[in-house]
Amino acid sequence: MAATTETVRRVKVKPNYEMIAWKWMRYSAFALIPLVWIHAILQDVVVGVHAMDLGYVAERWASLFWRVFDALLLGFAFAHGVNGLRQVLNDFIHGEKGRKILNWSLFIFWLAIFLIGAIALIGGVNQQFPLE
């Protein structure tokens, strides 16, 4: 029998919560690179923090693009942070049940804050500018 030189083998590993969370951490980081850079350059360099007033906020809020952009930034950055926090807290939680509670609590925490933020951002204000 001759030895084969084939070194690649296919395996099928069932995906689980941890594998998805790990992937999420990587992919959300890819999404965060343009989201955070555009946000930081625009707000801090192009506009500048001292030039931000109610007029600027209202102008930005009037554009659907920026509302969706900000909602995405909130969702991805917050999820990335909460998943990191989950990893840190897992250092201190030694029971299976505790970990389950932690996972669900953090997910609900993320979802609630993201939904409130997204509704406020995308829903916008129901008044014409200048505000009365």
Partner 1 sequence: MEVRMRIFRFNPEKDRKPHYDVFTVEAQPTDRVLDVLEWIRGDVDGTLAFRRSCAHGVCGSDAMRINGRNYLACKVLLRDLGTTEITVEPLLGLPVIKDLIVDMGPFFEHYKTVMPYLVNDELPADGKERLQSPEQRERFDDTTKCILCAACTTSCPSFWSNGQYVGPAAIVNAHRFIFDSRDQAAVERLEILNDQFGVWRCRTAFNCTEACPREIKITQAIAEVKRAIQTGRVE
Q: For binding to partner 1 (CB under 8 A), which residues are involved?
A: 1-14, 16, 18-19, 21-23, 87, 90-92, 94, 99
Nearest to 60 by CA among 116, 117, 124, 120: 124
> Could you give the CA distance from residue 92 to residue 131 in angstroms, rounded to a whole number?
49
- The CB-of-7 to partner 1 minimum distance in angstroms stands at 6
For the four alpha carbons of 58, 60, 65 and 68, in that order, the dihedral sign comes to negative
- The CB-of-96 to partner 1 minimum distance in angstroms stands at 10
**Which one, 63 or 90, has the nearer CB to partner 1?**
90
**Which one, 14 or 97, has the nearer CB to partner 1?**
14
**Which one, 53 or 96, has the nearer CB to partner 1?**
96
- The CB-of-81 to partner 1 minimum distance in angstroms stands at 15
Check residue 10 and give left, alpha or beta (phi > 0: left; psi -120 to 50: alpha).
beta
